[in-house]
Amino acid sequence: MSYIVKTNNLGKVIKKKSILTEVNLHVIQGEIYSLISQNKAGITSLFKLLTGLWKPTSGEVELFGERINRNAYLFLQKVGSMIDTPIFYENKTGFENLKMHCEYRGVYDQQHIAEAIELFDLKGMEDKPVHTYPFGLKQKLGIIRAITLKPELLIIDEPMNGLDPLEKRTLRNLIKYVNDYYNATVIISSHHLEELEQITDKVGVIQNGRLMKEETMDHIRTTFSKSIDFSISDCKKTAYLLEEQLQILHYQVLASGIIRIFDPSVPSHKIVNMLVKNNIQVHEVIQNQHSLENYIFNLSKGSGEFASMDGNRHQ
């Protein structure tokens, strides 16, 4: 199997604190790989190691089948990235920033810039100084800079921050376009699980600086395809009854009187009947298909690691 990115027991220690421990990442050429973690610092640190911005404390990084060493720049020329908050020359225009980026990489054909801007519209702001850009537009400029030179490997860190729903959809389409037509491998991080689920091929979950699991999205959809939301009058009593009468332990208490149940073995009508018999009003029952969210919940239950990713409390 051809891995375009592979890490072997990769570790990073900063000020005697372990940020990453024995990370073994496997990214196949041509796939979209999503990294998910409650602690953004772990993923950002991993991205900095992959792109040569940091040196590992232990382990090694392989890109394009070769171990990264003092000749790393030869491989990194094939990589486009946006890591953490993108930095620009604030008094230069967006176009000037992109032009300087291309020239730094030895490319002087401005057609690359025009094509990238056409893919992810800057709304006519490319000729305005970057200091006039709102946060979301700076995010877009960072993404455009990352794809301008048609990289073989694209690494983007929380690219959906600051984007409105329409822009998120445009970004999803852009990532698929870069993946399909540039034949680029994409590694992306985001806490917007519903957005990742629509484009990703494989998911890697990092907890406490360790890569706990790598799984294909096809397997996740097959195994963790359903959850059910119950809008009820008494969440606390419902939680007690689920555990005591139906032995349901895999559930999540959401805001506004809703409990989400991740146990497909108990039919929803049985749950409703039990609640009604115990004088709990059931206002609404909703079937969900958020496979990735269910997978993350099942993987991390008991650890509390992802308990606040979406502002909810897990049981």
Structure tokens given for 134: 């709102």
Q: What is the pLDDT of residue 313?
A: 34
Q: With 70 as the cut, is the pLDDT of residue 214 above it?
A: yes
Q: With 80 as the cut, is the pLDDT of residue 165 above it?
A: yes
Q: With 60 as the cut, is the pLDDT of residue 102 above it?
A: yes
State which of 15-29, 108-122, 299-313 shows the largest mean pLDDT. Answer: 15-29
Backbone phi, psi, residue 43, to 5°? -70, -45
Q: With 70 as the cut, is the pLDDT of residue 290 above it?
A: no
278 and 200 part of one domain: no
Q: What is the pLDDT of residue 311?
A: 36
150 located within any domain: yes
Going by pLDDT thresholds of 50, 70 and 90, the confidence category of residue 19 is: very high
188 and 236 part of one domain: no
d(CA 5, CA 64): 6
311 located within any domain: no
312 located within any domain: no
d(CA 13, CA 19): 6
Q: 229 in helix, strand or coil?
A: strand
297 located within any domain: no
Query: pLDDT (tens digit, 9 = 90+) per residue, 115-151?
Result: 999 888 887 899 999 999 999 899 999 999 999 999 9
Q: What is the pLDDT of residue 14?
A: 93
DSSP letter, residue 126: G
Q: With 90 as the cut, is the pLDDT of residue 251 above it?
A: no
Q: What is the pLDDT of residue 298?
A: 72
- How many domains does the structure of the chain reveal? 2
Q: With 70 as the cut, is the pLDDT of residue 272 above it?
A: yes
Q: With 90 as the cut, is the pLDDT of residue 12 above it?
A: yes
Q: What is the pLDDT of residue 247?
A: 92
Domain extent for 254: 226-288
303 located within any domain: no
73 and 121 part of one domain: yes
248 and 211 part of one domain: no
40 and 158 part of one domain: yes
d(CA 139, CA 161): 7
Going by pLDDT thresholds of 50, 70 and 90, the confidence category of residue 300 is: low
152 and 246 part of one domain: no
Average pLDDT estimate for 13-29: 95
| Residue 247 belongs to domain with CATH number | 3.30.70.100
E strand spans, the chain: 3-14, 17-23, 26-28, 32-37, 58-63, 66-67, 79-82, 153-157, 185-189, 202-207, 210-216, 227-232, 251-254, 258-261, 282-288, 313-314
301 located within any domain: no
309 located within any domain: no
115 and 235 part of one domain: no
Q: With 50 as the cut, is the pLDDT of residue 304 above it?
A: no
147 and 258 part of one domain: no
Write down the pTM of the prediction: 0.77
| Residue 173 belongs to domain with CATH number | 3.40.50.300
Query: For residue 140, what is the enclosing H or E element?
Result: helix 135-147
Q: With 70 as the cut, is the pLDDT of residue 236 above it?
A: yes
95 located within any domain: yes
211 and 267 part of one domain: no
44 and 178 part of one domain: yes
Which of 190, 221, 252 marks a domain boundary? 221
95 and 235 part of one domain: no
CB 19 within 8 Å of CB 30: no
Pairing mode of beta strands 185-189, 32-37: parallel
Average pLDDT estimate for 231-249: 93
Which of 221, 236, 266 marks a domain boundary? 221
Mean pLDDT of the chain: 87
Query: pLDDT (tens digit, 9 = 90+) per residue, 107-116?
Result: 888 898 999 9
Query: pLDDT (tens digit, 9 = 90+) per residue, 24-79?
Result: 999 999 999 999 987 777 899 999 999 989 999 999 999 998 888 766 667 778 99
Q: Which of 112, 114, 43 is nearest to 82 (CA)?
A: 43
Q: With 90 as the cut, is the pLDDT of residue 1 above it?
A: no
Q: With 90 as the cut, is the pLDDT of residue 4 above it?
A: yes
Going by pLDDT thresholds of 50, 70 and 90, the confidence category of residue 289 is: low
Q: What is the pLDDT of residue 29?
A: 94
d(CA 255, CA 244): 22
CB 76 within 8 Å of CB 61: no
135 and 155 part of one domain: yes
Q: How far is CA 217 from CA 69, 197, 290, 307, in A?
A: 33, 8, 12, 22
Q: Which residue has the tokens 């993923």?
A: 43
For residue 40, the one-letter residue type is K
